[in-house]
């Protein structure tokens, strides 16, 4: 199946509400735990979350690990409104700066984050290679990276089956959003090629579920002090 782009920015209140209501709890929880594990116990780690959406990943990570300080970015202001409210309600807003920013051109210094995380956002970008180049630019030498997203199914029928299996209880609009995301997603080989081109050949790129790929590397600090 050829890649069919969806809108890069989901920037209406309805988009944000529908997205936030979809059940990503299992996938988000796994992503947050895996991301923290890649830090290897780094004390006071600075984490960048690209494509924060409605803030579910930062909330999970900040609750799980009290040593983190985060910057979370997204291009959709409607998503950021929900994310800011979520972190304020959870008492976590002082540890997470939320900014409107383009993943393809981050207004952030080079080599400034111990971990760069990006969950289910790459499929929104017309030119995903640009996002991988920015990830390579802003991560510290030896820093951790985790990028995870949907795999594009071979056929439309396969995509429809995934939607019914995973989101059968969602409303028609939510199912449509999921279906469009599957069509806009990348194949594992495409991800691997983009990662290499961005100078991130040390990332492990592989299928990690029946519908997700992951591209990740653990931090490798020189003489680092770990949390007790």
188 pLDDT more than 50? yes
What is the structure's pLDDT at 222? 58
Q: Report pLDDT digits (tens) over 158-179.
A: 999 999 999 999 999 889 999 9
**Within a domain: 227:** no
Q: How far apart are CA 96 and CA 92, in angstroms?
A: 7
Count of domains observed in the chain = 1
**Within a domain: 5:** no
227 pLDDT more than 60? no
CB-based contact 6:124 (threshold 8 Å): yes
| CATH code of 205's domain | 3.40.50.150
What is the structure's pLDDT at 117? 98
**Within a domain: 225:** no
**Within a domain: 162:** yes
**Within a domain: 56:** yes
Q: Report pLDDT digits (tens) over 68-93.
A: 999 999 999 999 999 999 999 999 99
> What strands lie across the sheet with 46-50, from one edge to the other?
96-100, 69-74, 46-50, 113-119, 139-150, 212-217, 204-207
DSSP state letters, 117-175: EEES-GGG-S-HHHHHHHHHHHEEEEEEEEEEEEBPPSSHHHHHHHHHHHHTTS-HHHH
What is the structure's pLDDT at 60? 97
**Within a domain: 226:** no
5 pLDDT more than 80? yes
Supply the range of the domain harboring residue 144.
13-217
**Within a domain: 24:** yes
Q: Report pLDDT digits (tens) over 106-127.
A: 999 999 999 999 999 999 999 9
What is the structure's pLDDT at 225? 45
Pick the range with the lowest mean pLDDT from 24-28, 100-104, 181-185, 195-199: 24-28
Determine the distance from the C-alpha atom of residue 35 to the mean position of all C-alpha atoms in its chain, rounded to a whole number. Answer: 10
Q: Report pLDDT digits (tens) over 10-67.
A: 778 888 887 888 888 899 999 999 999 999 988 899 999 999 999 999 999 999 999 9
Q: How far apart are CA 103 and CA 86, in angstroms?
A: 22
Kindly state the average pLDDT of the residues 130-153. Answer: 98
- Torsion on CA atoms 34, 39, 44, 47, rounded to nearest 10: -60
**Within a domain: 7:** no
* Partners of 70 in the β-ladder: 47, 96
């Amino acid at each position: 199946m050829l890649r069919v782009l969806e809108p890069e920015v989901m920037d209406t209140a309805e988009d944000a509400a529908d997205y936030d209501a979809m059940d990503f709890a299992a996938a988000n929880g796994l992503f947050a735990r895996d991301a923290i594990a890649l830090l290897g116990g780094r004390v006071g780690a600075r984490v960048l979350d690209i494509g924060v959406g409605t803030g579910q990943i930062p909330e999970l990570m900040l609750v799980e690990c009290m040593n983190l300080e985060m910057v979370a970015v997204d291009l959709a202001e409607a998503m950021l409104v929900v994310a800011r409210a979520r972190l304020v309600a959870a008492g976590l807003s002082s540890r997470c700066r939320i900014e409107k920013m383009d993943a393809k051109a981050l207004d952030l210094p080079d080599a400034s984050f111990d971990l760069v995380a990006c969950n289910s956002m790459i499929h929104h970008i017309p030119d995903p290679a640009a996002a991988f180049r920015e990830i390579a630019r802003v991560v510290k030498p030896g820093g951790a990276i985790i990028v995870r997203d949907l795999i594009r199914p071979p056929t439309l029928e396969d995509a429809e089956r995934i939607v019914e299996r995973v989101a059968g209880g969602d409303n028609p609009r939510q199912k449509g959003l999921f279906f469009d995301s599957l069509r806009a997603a990348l194949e594992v080989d495409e991800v691997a090629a983009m990662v290499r081109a961005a100078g991130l050949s040390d990332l492990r790129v592989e299928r990690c579920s029946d519908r997700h790929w992951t591209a990740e590397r653990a931090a490798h600090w020189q003489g680092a002090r770990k949390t007790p």
